[in-house]
Homo-oligomer: A and B are copies of this chain.
Amino acid sequence: MNLVSEEINIKCGNCDIRHRAVCSQCDTSELNTLNTIKYYKTIKAGQTIAAVEEPISFVASIVTGIAALNQTMEDGRTQMVGMLLPSDFVGRPGRNSVAYDIVATTDVYMCCFYKKPFEELLARTPHLVNRLLEMTLDDLDAAREWMLVLGRKTAREKIASLFAIFAHRSAVLRRKGAQDTIEFDLHLSREQMSDYLGLTIETVSRQISALKKDGIILLPNKRHVIVPNLSVLLTEAGDDADGGVLV
């Protein structure tokens, strides 16, 4: 008995994302409870994780991969309204459906919790609600930051802003500063980028080519970007050289 819970605990304790995930503050007993209501699930790139109107029976934490929150109009125009990265939370406690379609952009591996018992745990675990509030406030900041991009930036600035997000994430992982060379893989297709940026794929393609021609980025292949100087990229994004970076 003791041994079983120990094992389970070790498994969850080893999870790469736990320090940033919803369970980051949980103690051993809470982790044990989570272990009894969790399961892992892999979704192939392109598959829908959850759709508007459909009830959803779980909440989850992304372990690896990227998913997109998409909003679509009747005539097919679509806008990506959020990007879910490892450690991001999926689902809205207390609500029975998602507000937007959630689609796997790459293969996604996630840690799911059955919704009902998760909410019961939530009801008796205030610090978990606190953690969710924290994460939701961060999501809100990111969404609002992105509203400036969508409403007021030019196509070139939009592309630079998107690349700045990826560069920033990569820089945090590698502990680099604004003056260092940063590189990252582009996990989004041109179409996905256009949906995120409110542009067409042709404009995305043209602006990427332009940034390349101007030496702001190098593009060894279509899906890998090298940023020789991050602060130059940030200037192109219309941000001042160190602030305002999202995600």
A residues at B contact (CB < 8 Å): 69, 71, 73-75, 77-79, 81-82, 92-95, 99-100, 126, 129-130, 132-134, 136-137, 139-141, 143-148, 150-152, 197-198, 238, 240
Least distance between A35 CB and chain B CB atoms (Å): 23
Contacts of A141 in B (CB 8 A): 99
Q: A95-B137, A126-B129, A134-B94 are in contact. Are A143 and B147 (CB under 8 A)?
A: yes
Contacts of A93 in B (CB 8 A): 133
CA–CA, A129 and B93, complex, Å? 13
Cβ contact of A92, chosen from B95, B137, B145, B198, cutoff 8 A: B137
State whether A146 touches B147 (Cβ < 8 A). Answer: yes
State whether A148 touches B94 (Cβ < 8 A). Answer: no
State whether B74 touches A151 (Cβ < 8 A). Answer: no
State whether A238 touches B143 (Cβ < 8 A). Answer: no
State whether B79 touches A148 (Cβ < 8 A). Answer: yes
Contacts of A198 in B (CB 8 A): 150-152
